[in-house]
Chain A
Amino acid sequence: MLTKRIIPCLDIKDGRTVKGINFLNIRDAGDPVELGSLYAQHGADELVFLDISATNEKRKTFASLVKDIARHINIPFTVGGGISSVQDVAPLLEAGADKVSINSAAVRNPKLIDDLSRAFGSQCIVLAIDARTVNDNWLVHTNGGRQATDIRLFPWAKEGQERGAGEILFTSMDHDGTKAGFATEALNALHNLLNIPVIASGGAGNKEHFVEAFTKGKADAALAASIFHFREVDIPDLKLFLKNNGVNVRL
Chain B
Amino acid sequence: MNLVLIKYNAGNIQSVSFALERLGISFNITDDAEQIRKADKVIFPGVGEASTTMTFLKEKKLDQLIKSLTQPVLGVCLGMQLMCRFSEENNTPCLGIFDEDVKRFIPESTMKVPHMGWNKLLLREDSWLNPELSDQYVYFVHSFYVPVNRYTSALTDYINPFSAALKKDNFYGVQFHPEKSASTGELVLKSFLDL
A-side interface residues toward B, CB under 8 Å? 1-3, 5, 40, 45, 67, 70-72, 74-76, 93-96, 98, 120-124, 166-167, 194-197, 218, 220-221, 250
Closest to A118 in B: B49
Q: Which of B14, B143, B182 meets A123, CB within 8 Å? A: B143
Give the 7 A-B CB pairs with smallest separation, nearest first: A250-B137, A96-B14, A250-B118, A195-B107, A76-B180, A3-B118, A123-B141
Query: In the assembly, what is the distance between CA of A122 and CA of B142, in Å?
Result: 10
B-side interface residues toward A, CB under 8 Å? 11, 14-15, 18-19, 21-22, 47-49, 107, 110, 112-120, 137, 139, 141-143, 157-158, 177, 179-183, 185-186
Q: Which of A70, A121, A122 meets B14, CB within 8 Å? A: A70
Q: How many A-B residue pairs have CB under 8 A?
A: 85
A3 touching B117, Cβ below 8 Å: yes
> Cβ of A195: which chain B residues have Cβ within 8 Å of it?
107, 112-113
Min Cβ gap A236→B in Å is: 14
Query: In the assembly, what is the distance between CA of A172 and CA of B120, in Å?
Result: 31
A45 touching B118, Cβ below 8 Å: yes
Of A74, A123, A250, most buried by chain B (CB within 10 Å of CB) is A74
- A121-B49, A195-B107, A250-B137 in contact; A70/B118 too (CB < 8 A)? no
Query: In the assembly, what is the distance between CA of A2 and CA of B110, in Å?
Result: 11
B114 touching A74, Cβ below 8 Å: no
Looking at chain A's contact residues, the main secondary structure is: loop
What are 30 A-to-B residue pairs whose CB atoms are below 8 Å?
A: A2-B115, A2-B117, A2-B118, A3-B119, A5-B117, A5-B118, A40-B182, A71-B21, A71-B22, A72-B22, A74-B22, A74-B180, A74-B181, A74-B185, A74-B186, A75-B139, A75-B181, A76-B141, A76-B177, A98-B15, A121-B47, A123-B141, A166-B114, A167-B116, A194-B112, A195-B107, A196-B114, A197-B116, A220-B117, A250-B137
> Cβ of B48: which chain A residues have Cβ within 8 Å of it?
121
Closest to A122 in B: B114
> Cβ of A250: which chain B residues have Cβ within 8 Å of it?
118, 137
> Cβ of A40: which chain B residues have Cβ within 8 Å of it?
182
Closest to A77 in B: B180
A166 touching B116, Cβ below 8 Å: yes
B112 touching A220, Cβ below 8 Å: yes
Closest to B110 in A: A218
